Amino acid sequence: MSVHKHGDSGPGCAGSCCLKVTDLGVNFGSEEVLHNVSFHLHCGEIVALIGPNGAGKSSLFRTILGQIPHTGDIEFQRAGGDRTRPLIGYVPQSPSFDRGDPVSVLDFFSAAISKWPVFLPSPKKLRERVAGCLARVHGDTLIDKRMGALSGGELQRVLLALALEPLPHILVLDEPLSGVDIDGEKQLLDMLDEIRTKYDLSILLSTHDFATLDQYADKVLLLKSEILKVGTPAEVLSSPEFQAVFHLDLGKGGRR
């Protein structure tokens, strides 16, 4: 697929850089978790980050979010050369909710986007605002569902709607496909494609699901403390670096 898509409603950037990471390094105590990490994320692009457990994917996201001290540079560039920090929407690795939890999607959302106490009925305007946010992800019907009763795909949709309020410049999703069934996965991937096109935002996500990369990712970064390979899904998945990291014996032809 690998097409650079720009929508009508975003500022447009003529392909200029949105996020530029250069020579990034992160240590936790004496453990060097990331080193020499450099890559670019352009407007309207979906970049997938892959790597084994403990490769540093979540740490890289949290560093970009400004939560972890680092060496090297993280630069942002917005339309017109604006270098102020952009809004970053973040969908964390799926939190779990107690199946019996009485908190509804409306309660959860209201508490996150306003100071309205969860134990009071939401006023009409707040309900309308939440409904509008859920509509962005075609999740209008979820508003009165209990958080604990959502399927994996529905929960991801609610978290995605939350990350899109207010509309960010960059959307970061940590393993959005984990815990989502095949139908939910297809819906979520279609939605991400729709969102990046409609709102012209850049998407950076991590995944362990390699089979679907080709359907949505413009670029794939293979990470194991450092970036081992960058390219299209096909380039990365057929690379010796990928095979070595995931201990694949793919024979002479390099095919699975």
Ligand X SMILES: Nc1ncnc2c1ncn2[C@@H]1O[C@H](COP(=O)(O)OP(=O)(O)OP(=O)(O)O)[C@@H](O)[C@H]1O
What is the DSSP code string of 101-146?
A: ---BHHHHHHHHHS---TTSPPPHHHHHHHHHHHHTTT-GGGTTSB
- Residue selected from 56, 89, 168, 176 as contacting ligand X according to rule CB under 6 A: 56
58 binding ligand X? (CB under 6 A): yes
What's the DSSP call for residue 149? G
Separation of alpha carbons 162 and 179, rounded Å: 19
Separation of alpha carbons 161 and 191, rounded Å: 11
Residues in the chain: 256
By beta-carbon proximity to ligand X, the closer residue of 91 and 142 is 91
24 binding ligand X? (CB under 6 A): no
- Residue selected from 23, 28, 67, 256 as contacting ligand X according to rule CB under 6 A: 28
51 binding ligand X? (CB under 6 A): yes
Separation of alpha carbons 189 and 212, rounded Å: 9
Minimum distance between the CB of residue 226 and ligand X, rounded to whole angstroms?
12
Minimum distance between the CB of residue 54 and ligand X, rounded to whole angstroms?
4
- Give the bridge partners for 104, in sequence order: 146
With CB under 6 A as the contact rule, which of the stretches 6-14, 52-60, 104-112, 121-129 interacts with ligand X? 52-60
In angstroms, what CA-CA distances link 159 with 17, 88, 103, 183?
26, 14, 14, 18
30 binding ligand X? (CB under 6 A): no
With CB under 6 A as the contact rule, which of the stretches 46-54, 72-80, 102-110, 115-123 interacts with ligand X? 46-54
With CB under 6 A as the contact rule, which of the stretches 53-61, 152-160, 214-222, 242-250 interacts with ligand X? 53-61
Minimum distance between the CB of residue 93 and ligand X, rounded to whole angstroms?
7
Contact residues: ligand X, CB under 6 A: 28, 33, 51, 53-59
